[in-house]
Amino acid sequence: MSISLWDLHELVGLPMMCCLYDEVVPSTQELTGVGEKRERFIPRSCKYLLYAYHLLQSADDNRCSHVSIDKWVKFWSKKTTKYHPPPPRKAKKTVRPKSTHNSLGDIAIHERWSTAEEALFAKLCIERSLKEEVYLAAYLACWLCLFVLPGKDVNSIRPSTFKMASLMANGRRVNLAIPILASIYEGLNTVATSPKPSGTSHSFPIHFVYAWLACYFKTHYSVWQELRGPKMTRLSGEGGAKYYEPREARKRIHKAEFVSWACNMLVKAEPFKFVDDGRAEELDHSYFIAIRLSYLTLRRGGRFIVEPYSPHRFGRQFGPKSIKITLKRKKDEDKQVDGGENDPPHALIPPIVIECDSQAAVVEVSKEKCSSHDVAGSDRSNKNRHWKRQRKEAMSLKATETNECIALEDEVQSIDVGEESETSHSSTMTSPLGMDLKGNNLHLLLRCQYLKSSEQLKEVKARLQDVQAKASEEASKIQSVMDELEHVEEDIAVLKGRRTNLCATLKEKKQLNHDT
């Protein structure tokens, strides 16, 4: 199991299409430039965010320092506090508290700007028509830095987020699912590969991982009140996490007694067909992207993150039971590629991949809707998978061959001259049906030694070719140096001739001057 793009789409409502997320400080040409349709590349609200950041940075004594989240919020927000901080957390709760400190999801109508807010807009020289857009962009920049994609310094505003915040405030849809999942994968890999995972300090949006655990493993309480929005909002709030002892937590995840495989599954009433022709609906297109084998990318300033995305390794979360893909060759031959639960793990064919109009994938989906399944029987079925048996047989065969080679070497080393003569005599006298065992063993050992010697000979030949190539290169370099030396000697001879001529002319001039 793993968190996928489709999980982020269903749990958080993050889009997987439209504008790519590019976190970078724009250049002056990009900030003021316009396209062919006389539309700006970046909305004008971005320059006001950069100006506000410059004012906050200039007001600090240490101008090289970053602007904190607290300063950014106090600079823009001039209203009274509406939501007070929650009380300290209390562990070992058997039920969820009645107060979750969550909003109901209702956004009230914006009131008139106060005098302090009008003074702020006048200080930044913001036009009247851009006040709401700039205010929303400032909030979105804080949201990106603190909640969506936290960086190394979690409590600081990154000016590289102003570009994407301005685009979102202007009404552009931005692809956030891919960069968020790339950041999650990078953070989990950093923790997993660290020699001391508990001491690793790496910031990534782990609250999305908590939402994924709550959805699949039922590790959180749901809220009392009804909330509008994605599934993640129903599992949020103070006191939502259930308490588990370490042993209970391991048992809940490894045994998977309460796992809900179909909680985010795309349910259809009948088998359906995906065709990548560019005319699919957004939901189907997003699902198609989520099951596609690809890479996850994230650009954060001068840092680039690229993580592999392999949904075929956890294809059971998407629901297909049997997948048939038809790939058309150039010779009009059809190749059927069957994929299922019994495929070996090294198969790199994703569950559902169609790249052109002539390719289609028929997926048989489960008609059961969002129900939890007991996977206790899956352990029993895993033991009988044919690819696992083949792998075990191959490993045992390899170990047997290794032991036989070692035994043969020991046996040959223990044979003296007399035994060798007797063995050779007995091997020549025996019939093909009753061939001597030592003669067979010696033949097999000689065959192994011959193969090893041939491999070593190939390596020596390859090294010799490399040495010869290097020697030829060195010889060519020496020859070129010799040619250059010859040219230099010729130039020196020419210069010497000129020198003698000049000396002769000087003597003649001196003689003429002396005569006159």
SS3 annotation, 378-398: HHHHHHCCHHHHHHHHHHHHH
pLDDT above 70: residue 149 = yes
Output the CA angle 153-159-160, nearest 5 degrees: 95
Residue range 278-297: average pLDDT?
84
Top mean-pLDDT range of 12-16, 128-132, 373-377, 379-383? 128-132
The answer to which of 75-89, 420-434, 459-473 has the lowest mean pLDDT is 420-434
pLDDT-based confidence at residue 424 (cuts at 50, 70, 90)? very low
Which amino acid is located at 111 in the chain? E
3-state SS of 166-231 is: HHHHCCCCEECHHHHHHHHHHHHHHHHHCCCHHHCCCCCCHHHHHHHHHHHHCCECCCCCCCCCCH
pLDDT above 90: residue 483 = no
CA distance 13 to 35: 31
pLDDT above 80: residue 352 = no
pLDDT value of position 43: 92
The answer to whether the beta carbons of residues 309 and 294 sit under 8 Å apart is yes
3-state SS of 6-67 is: HHHHHHHCCCCCCEECCECCCCHHHHHCECCCCCECCCCHHHHHHHHHHHHHHHCCCCCCCC
Q: 50-72: per-residue pLDDT in tens? A: 999 999 988 877 666 789 999 99
Question: Residues with Cβ < 8 Å from 383, sequence gap 6 or more?
Answer: none
pLDDT value of position 35: 81
Q: Residue 34: beta bridge partners?
A: 40
pLDDT above 80: residue 267 = no
* Sign of the alpha-carbon dihedral angle for 477, 483, 485, 488: negative
The answer to whether the beta carbons of residues 293 and 353 sit under 8 Å apart is yes
Mean pLDDT of the chain: 73
pLDDT-based confidence at residue 431 (cuts at 50, 70, 90)? very low
CA distance 300 to 180: 12
Residue range 95-112: average pLDDT?
66
Question: How far is C-alpha 322 from the geometric centre of its chain's CA atoms?
Answer: 27
CA distance 175 to 16: 5
pLDDT value of position 427: 38
CA distance 458 to 460: 5
pLDDT value of position 166: 94
CA distance 47 to 490: 67
Instruction: Say what the pTM is.
Output: 0.59
pLDDT-based confidence at residue 140 (cuts at 50, 70, 90)? very high
pLDDT value of position 256: 67
Nearest one of 219, 229, 147 to 180, comparing CA atoms: 147
Token pair 């950069």: residue: 50
Q: 318-341: per-residue pLDDT in tens? A: 765 534 444 444 444 444 434 333
Residue range 359-386: average pLDDT?
39
The answer to which of 195-204, 235-244, 311-320, 366-375 has the lowest mean pLDDT is 366-375
pLDDT-based confidence at residue 417 (cuts at 50, 70, 90)? very low
pLDDT above 70: residue 87 = no
pLDDT above 90: residue 180 = yes
pLDDT above 60: residue 382 = no
Residue range 9-35: average pLDDT?
86
pLDDT value of position 423: 41
Token pair 């990154």: residue: 158
Nearest one of 12, 207, 227 to 107, comparing CA atoms: 227
Residue range 239-246: average pLDDT?
73
Cα distance between the two ends of the chain: 109
The answer to whether the beta carbons of residues 211 and 232 sit under 8 Å apart is yes
The answer to which of 108-122, 166-180, 181-195 has the lowest mean pLDDT is 108-122
The answer to whether the beta carbons of residues 290 and 9 sit under 8 Å apart is yes
DSSP 388-425: HHHHHHHHHHHHHHHHHHHHHHHHHHH--HHHHHHHHH
pLDDT above 70: residue 358 = no
